[in-house]
């Protein structure tokens, strides 16, 4: 089975899982009598369910991804870091980053950002030639900024809502909109169109391990900061990061609560008090 067929199979399994999750949720609600349903903190629970209606499925996928990372990807990444000199690892990361720049350029262009798209094109031309197939990031030293765009962000710019939070097997935190955009990102990545599937699969494997090695330090910090429920911490962090990417680092600020900056009315003055001499003294 080719890697592409495996991805299609996983997508089908995700859809089946989502359908089963929704059916199970409806059946559970029907089986619980009204007097048996919890009432404490009902408002907070309903709000959280509205933000994460697929929580049961998502938590199962989060556990699967966590175990896959803990027992497979993280050990491979540590071994990769141990045997790969830092300059070589940096060149490998630059090589794969250069392969993503054409798709980033197209997304910037579709989003109506011609200046950023021109910068991305310049990066591809410079790094693919002077940078020796992208092994060296010469473009950044020339002032050509690296961007981070994908088709999910493009859909967001077009006004498509993110939809419910969704944890995908192997891919991790996402949402319905970004999950639907993954096939476009897949098709716009040059290695996926290589005729030699064996070479393509090896490149994808090396890229996965290299990217995981870059996140080793961040994952250690995550383990310390996540608290008792890492799922919720990752969910909220991924939402904030995604919002930040969509707005290019400048998300709109939420409106302050009503009356937060309203000036308090001055306290009423007390009536003047009489003095022994008959005069009044204001207070």
Is residue 162 situated within a structural domain? yes
Is residue 273 situated within a structural domain? no
pLDDT exceeds 50 at position 173: yes
Which residues contact residue 234 at a Cβ distance below 8 angstroms, ignoring those fewer than 6 apart? 62, 173, 222, 226
Q: What is the DSSP letter of 191?
A: G
User: For the residues 110-121, what does the mean pLDDT come to?
Assistant: 97
Beta strands in the chain (DSSP E): 165-168, 172-175, 273-274, 280-281
Q: Which among 186, 149, 189, 188 is positioned nearest to 168, based on CA atoms?
A: 186
User: For the residues 193-213, what does the mean pLDDT come to?
Assistant: 94
Is residue 17 situated within a structural domain? no
Kindly report the number of other CB atoms within 10 A of residue 268's CB atom.
6
Domain of 149 in residue numbering reads as 64-249
pLDDT, position 69: 96
Q: Are 163 and 175 in contact (CB under 8 A)?
A: yes
DSSP H or E run through 128: helix 114-129
pLDDT, position 32: 38
HEC per residue, 228-269: CCHHHHHHHHHHHHHHHHHCCCCCCCCCCCCCCCCCCCCCCC
Distance of CA 258 to the CA centre of its chain: 30
| Residues facing 173 on adjacent strands | 167
User: pLDDT higher for 7 or 168?
Assistant: 168
Q: Please return the burial class of 2, using the count of CB atoms within 10 Å of its CB with bins 0-12, 13-18 and 19+.
A: exposed
User: For the residues 85-107, what does the mean pLDDT come to?
Assistant: 97
Q: What is the DSSP letter of 69?
A: I
Is residue 167 situated within a structural domain? yes
User: For the residues 210-214, what does the mean pLDDT come to?
Assistant: 96
pLDDT exceeds 90 at position 130: yes
Is residue 266 situated within a structural domain? no
Positive or negative, the Cα torsion across 234, 55, 171, 67? positive
pLDDT, position 207: 97
pLDDT, position 276: 57
pLDDT exceeds 60 at position 19: no
Is residue 216 situated within a structural domain? yes
pLDDT, position 271: 61
Mean pLDDT estimate for the chain: 82
pLDDT, position 157: 96
User: For the residues 186-211, what does the mean pLDDT come to?
Assistant: 94
Is residue 44 situated within a structural domain? no
User: pLDDT higher for 27 or 248?
Assistant: 248
pLDDT exceeds 50 at position 169: yes
Q: Are 110 and 117 in contact (CB under 8 A)?
A: no
Is residue 155 situated within a structural domain? yes
pLDDT, position 267: 58
User: For the residues 141-163, what does the mean pLDDT come to?
Assistant: 96
- Give this prediction's pTM: 0.73
Distance of CA 254 to the CA centre of its chain: 20
pLDDT, position 266: 57
Tokens of 229: 């429920």
If one counts the domains in the chain, the total is: 1
CA 109 – CA 124 distance, rounded (Å): 15
């Amino acid at each position: 089975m080719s890697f592409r067929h495996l991805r299609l199979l996983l997508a089908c399994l995700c859809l089946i899982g989502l359908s089963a999750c929704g059916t199970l949720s409806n059946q559970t609600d029907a089986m619980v009598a009204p007097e048996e349903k919890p009432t404490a903190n009902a408002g907070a629970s309903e709000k959280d369910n509205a933000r994460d209606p697929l929580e049961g499925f998502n938590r199962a996928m989060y556990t699967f991804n966590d175990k896959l990372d803990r027992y497979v990807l993280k050990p491979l990444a540590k071994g990769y870091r141990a045997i790969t000199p830092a300059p070589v690892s940096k060149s490998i990361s630059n090589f794969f980053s250069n392969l993503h720049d054409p798709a980033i350029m197209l997304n910037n262009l579709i989003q109506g950002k011609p200046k950023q798209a021109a910068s991305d094109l310049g990066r591809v031309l410079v790094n693919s030639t002077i940078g020796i197939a992208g092994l060296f990031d010469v473009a950044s030293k020339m002032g050509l900024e690296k961007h981070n765009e994908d088709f999910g962000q493009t859909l967001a710019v077009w006004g498509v809502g993110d939809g419910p939070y969704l944890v995908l097997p192997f891919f991790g935190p996402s949402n319905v909109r970004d999950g639907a955009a993954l096939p476009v990102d897949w098709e716009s990545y040059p290695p996926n169109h290589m005729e030699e599937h064996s070479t393509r699969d090896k490149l994808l494997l090396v890229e996965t391990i290299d990217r995981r090695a870059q996140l080793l330090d961040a994952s250690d910090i995550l383990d310390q900061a996540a608290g008792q429920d890492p799922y919720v911490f990752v969910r909220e962090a991924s939402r904030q990061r995604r919002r930040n990417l969509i707005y290019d680092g400048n998300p709109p600020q939420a409106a302050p609560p009503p009356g937060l900056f309203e000036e308090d009315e001055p306290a009423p003055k007390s009536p003047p008090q009489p003095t022994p001499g008959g005069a009044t003294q204001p207070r």
